A = this chain, B = another copy of it.
Amino acid sequence: MFELLSQKFEEKIQLTEEEKELSRKFFTPKKLRRRQYLLQEGDVCKYVTFVEKGLLRYYTVDERGQEHITQFAFEGWWISDLLSFLTGEPSTYNIDALEHCELLLLSKAAEDEMLERIPKLERYFRILLQNNLIATQKRLASSLNQTAEERYSELIQSCPETLPQRIPQHMLASFLGITPETLSRIRRQLTLKAQGTRDKVQE
C-alpha cells in the first residue's frame, strides 16, 4: 500500500529505514469506490490525501448547479483543500472518486507529529508545495491570457498519457472553463494539424 509514497519520498529526500517505517504509522489507508466522496462542500477538510491508486477530481458547484473542476489527482499526487485543512473552516469544495481509489490519509495532528519526529519531511513538503505553486501560477496566467486551444495542449502535455481515456470529455471541458462543444472543436483541429504534420514528414 505504501510503495508509491515511499518512491515519491525517495525522489526528493533520503530517509533511513527507521524513518520510512515510522512515517507509515501516521497515515490511514482508505478505499473509495467510484462516485464516493472524499470531501463534501460544507464539511471541514480533515486530511491531506496521497493517491496510491485511482483518480479523483476537486470541484465547486455554483448557484446554478454547474460544476467547476479545479484539479484532477492521479496516482502519486496529493489532494486536499489546504485552506479548510489549515484553518478548520468548512470547505467550499467537493472531492470525489472518478475511479476505484486507494488512498493514504494524513490528519493535521498526524502531520504535525510526523514533521516533528522526521524533520527531513519538511524538505519533502517544501519542494512539493513549490512545484504545486509553479503549476498553479502557470494555470492562473493561462486562465487570464491564453486561448482554450493553448490551455488544452498544455494540459495534455502536463498529465499522464492516459488522461483523455480516463477523464470524460465534459469534465475536461469544465477544468478548462469551456463548453464540451468548444473542446470537441479544438480536438478535431489538433488531430487535423497532427495529420498534416505527419503527411508533410512522409512526403
Contacts and interface: CB of A to CB of B under 8 A. Distances in A.
A136 B135 CA distance: 10
A119 interface: yes
B133 A122 contact: no
Interface string A78-108: 0000110010000000000000000000000
Interface in A131-166: 132-134, 136-141, 143-145
A183 to B, nearest CB: 15
Contacts of A123: 115, 119, 122, 126
9 contacts: A68-B144, A70-B140, A82-B130, A119-B122, A122-B126, A123-B126, A129-B130, A132-B133, A140-B143
Interface of A: 60, 62, 68, 70, 82-83, 86, 115, 119, 122-123, 125-126, 129-130, 132-134, 136-141, 143-145, 177
Contacts of A126: 122-123, 125-126, 129
Contacts of A140: 70, 136, 139-140, 143
Contacts of A62: 145
A169 B9 CA distance: 46
B86 A130 contact: yes
B68 A138 contact: no
Nearest to A133: B133
Contacts of A82: 130, 133-134, 137
A179 to B, nearest CB: 14
A177 B142 CA distance: 12
A128 to B, nearest CB: 9
